[in-house]
Amino acid sequence: MFVFLAWMMQLSAVFIGLVCHAAEPPASQWSSDEHRNLTLRQHRTCVENEQYLHQGLCCLNCQAGTFVKKECERDQEQGTCLSCEYGQTYTAHSNGMKRCLPCTHCRQDEFETSPCTTTADTRCQCKQGTFCIPDQACEVCKRCAKCKSGEEEVKKCTPISNTVCRKRDPSTETPPANPPPTPASPTSIVIPVIVSLLILCLLIGLSVWWFISRRRSCKTPWSKSSCDSSEIVKIPIDESGATAEERQNNQNAGLEGEESRPESRPLLQESGITKPSSPLEDEDRGLGDSLPNTTSSSQTSLSALPTAASAGNTPHQSPSACRLLPEMDDPLRHRLLPLQGSEKSLRKSFDLFDEYLDVRIHNKFFRMIGVSDNHIRIAENGAPADKVYELLKNWMQRQGLKADINDLLEALLGMDQRRSAECIASAAIRKGYYKHADSP
C-alpha cells in the first residue's frame, strides 16, 4: 500500500511538470536576438541627409566631394568613400550616391564665373546684353529689351533680370530748350554772297560765249547745212507735205517705241515713287532671338487627321507617326486602366513615350513631371536610347503606388502636345497594356 502511494505521487509530479513546461512560451520568441534584430531592420528608417539604408543597415553618408565606393558592413558605420575627380565631377553635400555628378559646361552664350570643384558645380553667367532668370528653366540666354519711344528705363538689364521700362509721364517731360540765336558775323555773310556772284557770272559768261560761237558757226560756208537742218526740224509736221497715211504710221511707230522702251521701268524705280516699307518691329522685349530649334508648342489632334504617316518626319526631329484604331474616335476620352498590373503596364508603356515624344521637348517634359536637373544630366551622359526609359523609371520610383500613365498624358496635354498624347494612348490600348475605363 505504501509503495502504491509513492508511485502515484511520482506520477503526479511528472504530469505537473509536463503541464508547466507546455504553458511556457517557445524559447525562440524570448532568446533569439538575431531574429528580433532582423525584424527590426526590415522596418527601420535611417536619418535623412545623414545615413542611407543598405541591407537593413544604416550606413553613415560620405562627405561632400566624395561618393560611396563600398557600403558599410556594420550598423552606424561609414563605408569606403572615394573622392570625385576635380574639374570633372562633384558632390555638393554628404551623400550615399555610388558616383559623383558630372560638372556643368557653360554654353556659348555664357561665360564661366567660377570653375567646377569636387564640392561645387561650375557657375555660369549670361554674357553682356543678355539675361536668364534663375527661377525659370533657361535653355538659352535671352536678349535684353530696349525701352520703346515714350518709355523710360527704370532698371537696367542684368545677367539675371530683364530691363524694366515704364511709360513716361507727359507732364514731367520738358521740351528741349531752343538754343539762343547767335549773331551772324559779317564774314559768314559776305563769303557765301561772293561765291554765289562768281558762280552766276561764270554761268552768264559761258552762255554768252556759246551763243556767239553758235552764230559764228552758222555764218561759215561749211556749217550752213547744219544750220539749215536745225531750221528744217522746226517746221511743223502738218506743213511738211506728208500724207495722212505717213503721219499715222509715224504716230504708231512713236507709240510702239514708247511702250517698248526698256528703260521705262528703271525710270519709275529711280523716280522715288516707291511703296513705303513697313516700319521695323520694336526691339525684342527679352524673349530672345537665339532659339534656332524651338518646337511648336501646339499639335493638331490626330482624331481629325488622316492616319497615314508623314513622309517628312524623322526620329530625331519629330515624333513617329501613329495609327489610331478604326473604332477609336478619341483615345483620351476616358482614363486608361492597366490590364497587366499597374507597374508592369506602366513600364511597358515607357517605350511608347520614347517613340512618340518629340525629342526637342524632352527636358521640359521631365521637369514638368518633377524629375530633377541632376537626374536629367546623368541620363544625358548615358546611352541616348535609354534616356527616356531611365528618367520615367526614376519618376515612377518617386511616385510609388501613385504612379499613373494618366498623369503623364495630362502633363503632355498641359504642354499642348495632344498629338503625342493621343499616339501614346492609342498604342498602349492597341498593344494590350491598357483599356478605357468604360470598356467591358
Q: Tens-of-pLDDT digits for all 440 residues of the chain?
A: 555 666 677 676 666 655 445 444 444 444 456 555 555 555 678 998 899 998 889 999 999 999 999 999 999 999 999 999 999 999 999 999 999 999 999 998 899 999 999 999 999 999 999 999 888 778 889 999 999 988 999 999 999 899 999 998 877 656 555 655 566 666 778 899 999 999 999 999 999 999 898 877 665 554 444 454 444 444 444 444 445 555 555 554 444 444 444 443 433 333 333 344 444 334 333 333 333 333 334 454 544 444 333 333 334 445 566 666 555 667 887 899 999 888 999 998 999 998 888 888 889 998 999 999 998 999 888 888 888 999 999 999 999 988 999 999 999 999 989 989 899 999 989 999 999 888 77
Q: What is the pLDDT of residue 70?
A: 93
Please state, in angstroms and rounded to a whole number, the distance separating the CA atoms of residues 215 and 235: 20
Query: Hey, what amino acid is at 158?
Result: T
CA distance 392 to 290: 30
Q: Are 308 and 407 in contact (CB under 8 A)?
A: no
Beta-carbon count within 10 A of 110 CB: 21
List CB contacts of 242: < 8 A, sequence separation 6 or more.
Answer: 250
321 burial class (0-12, 13-18, 19+ CB within 10 angstroms)? middle
pLDDT tens digit sequence for 426-437:
998 999 999 988
Q: Using an 8 Å Cβ cutoff, are 349 and 428 in contact? A: yes
231: amino acid identity, one letter:
E
CATH number assigned to the domain with residue range 32-103, chosen from the 4 options 3.40.50.300, 3.40.50.970, 3.20.20.60, 2.10.50.10: 2.10.50.10
- Each residue of 272-298: pLDDT tens digit? 333 444 443 343 333 333 333 333 344
Residue 181: the pLDDT is 58
Which residues does 98 contact at the CB level (< 8 Å), separation at least 6?
67, 68
**Cα–Cα distance measured from residue 117 to residue 265, given in angstroms and rounded to the nearest whole number:** 69
pLDDT value, residue 183: 61
CB 357 within 8 A of CB 388: yes
3-state secondary structure at position 1: coil
Q: How much helix, strand and coil, in percent to the nearest 5, is found in the chain?
A: 45, 10, 45
pLDDT, tens digit (0-9, with 9 covering 90-100), for 300-326: 454 444 433 333 333 444 556 666 655
pLDDT in tens, 104-117: 999 988 999 999 99
CATH topology identical between 127-171 and 315-436? no
Q: Which residues contact 54 (CB under 8 A, 6 or more apart)?
A: 71, 72, 79, 96
Q: What fold is seen in the domain 315-436?
A: Death Domain, Fas (1.10.533)
pTM of the model: 0.32
CA dist 406 and 403 (Å) reads 9
Domain boundaries, given as residue ranges, for the chain: 32-103, 127-171, 315-436
DSSP character string of 24-50:
SPPHHHHH-HHHHHHHHHHT--PPTTT
The whole-number pLDDT of residue 215 equals: 77
Residue 207's alpha-carbon distances to 90, 200, 215, 236, in angstroms, are 91, 11, 13, 28
Among candidates 266, 324, 255, 295, which has minimal Cα distance to 415?
A: 295
Going by C-alpha positions, the residue among 127, 121, 123, 119 that lies closest to residue 144 is 127
CATH of 127-171, one of 1.10.3470, 2.10.50, 2.40.40, 1.10.443: 2.10.50
